[in-house]
A and B are shown apart, each in its own frame.
Chain A
């Protein structure tokens, strides 16, 4: 039961990350252009967010050891994702329009501007979502002897969630309004925040 809850939790987290990444790349393309560099920066920035999120999540797990701790970061990630359609247009406009008008944007900035955009819009929610994987390993690992199994399961479930996120985004969600997709993903992440509180109560009783 514990394994099932833990894997479902990280599955949904992995799913949300990839929806943000794929739908996000499409979303940024309207301002940064249909350029190859939009994809490069989106993939690169989100991998940076994941690396930092994993490291941070692991350290936090050792310190707090309570599932309810996750509610905070997840609530922030959820609200932030919901608000992406609200704050992004102005933000991205500022990035694009800072270059002098009527002159071609230098190649260096054609490459780096999308990195700036991806970072400002997608870094925070993906960083916060990445916290949950190592955190869940710590919560679900009862004994050192089974840490290998648990961490393998958590990695796999989170990756399978991400795979689902990629295909569902590309084949299904792309036909819906992008703003609605961001709001729904934000809603899903908020639900995960709620779930972490429920999990906490349940884990406390297990002890």
Chain B
């Protein structure tokens, strides 16, 4: 009897969770890649792909309400204090594009997004505006890198998607060949920041470990910023061979804030997520190559031999 009551209570809980936020779908379209929806909840606007949340934005202030992990894309300043050109692969709802436009008005941003519907939605519903400092290219990220002769100080990768069945990542943006290409388009002191979803503590072959290991083949230093409120990990790779430890990162952070180079209010807090130890799965995860990039298996809970 008691268990029945508990079950009932659980059911009610689930139902209430579903009804608590009256969601209002204000845009919906099938693109070649996803079911793209824009959903308004009280105070926040959400971009959803196939039913999972890609971007959140406060309706009162477009610079608020975003996912925490996007703030780790400000960390490249620690390693390069003279950022002028940034390439972002993946637009989504444009959280990071809006932030760069707002906080770093002199930085030129190129954004590459494969899905034309996403570009349209970002412009119409998420306050992303093309300008002399923000160009949007409708293309595949790797193809764009292949064909550009531009050099960037920072390359930011956020091409991840999630669904109820787990996350997925374009395999051709995970390989040694891809990172070689990216490194060749970075300036001498260039920094690459890469969003991935995974578990730093997993000891089985895993995507964060595999990406870390693959990046380490090309870049002399790779660091990790695990997000506090989600499973996102932003891996930061530098072309500079100079190793940074926790204290050095905090020091540089303080200096950047004092000199008002970085005015993101949470910058100091984000830098405290800094880790310079590799993910635990790094020893057992494979180096990913164009020839062998079993990302599906690595994200499905491992089981791939080195």
Contact = CB atoms under 8 A, between A and B. Distances in A.
A179 B147 CA distance: 25
Given A97-B147, A179-B291, A34 B139 contact: no
Contacts of B297: 174-175
B304 interface: yes
B143 interface: yes
B140 A34 contact: yes
B147 A99 contact: yes
B296 interface: yes
Contacts of A179: 291
B56 to A, nearest CB: 25
A96 interface: yes
A33 B150 contact: no
Contact of A101 (B139, B147, B172, B177): B147
Given A33-B140, A33-B142, A178-B291, A102 B177 contact: no
Nearest to B31: A36
B173 A34 contact: yes
B134 interface: no
Interface in A92-124: 96-97, 99, 101-102, 104-105, 107, 110
A99 B304 CA distance: 38
B172 A29 contact: yes
A113 to B, nearest CB: 9
Nearest to B140: A33
Contacts of B148: 101-102
A98 to B, nearest CB: 11
B246 interface: no
A102 B150 contact: yes
Given A29-B171, A30-B177, A175-B304, A105 B139 contact: yes
Nearest to B150: A102
Nearest to A29: B172
25 contacts: A26-B171, A30-B175, A31-B143, A33-B114, A33-B141, A33-B143, A34-B114, A34-B142, A34-B172, A34-B173, A36-B32, A37-B32, A96-B146, A99-B147, A101-B147, A102-B148, A104-B138, A105-B143, A105-B147, A175-B294, A175-B297, A176-B292, A177-B291, A177-B292, A180-B291
Given A34-B171, A101-B148, A174-B297, 11 more contacts: A29-B171, A30-B290, A32-B143, A33-B114, A33-B143, A36-B32, A85-B291, A96-B147, A99-B147, A104-B137, A105-B143
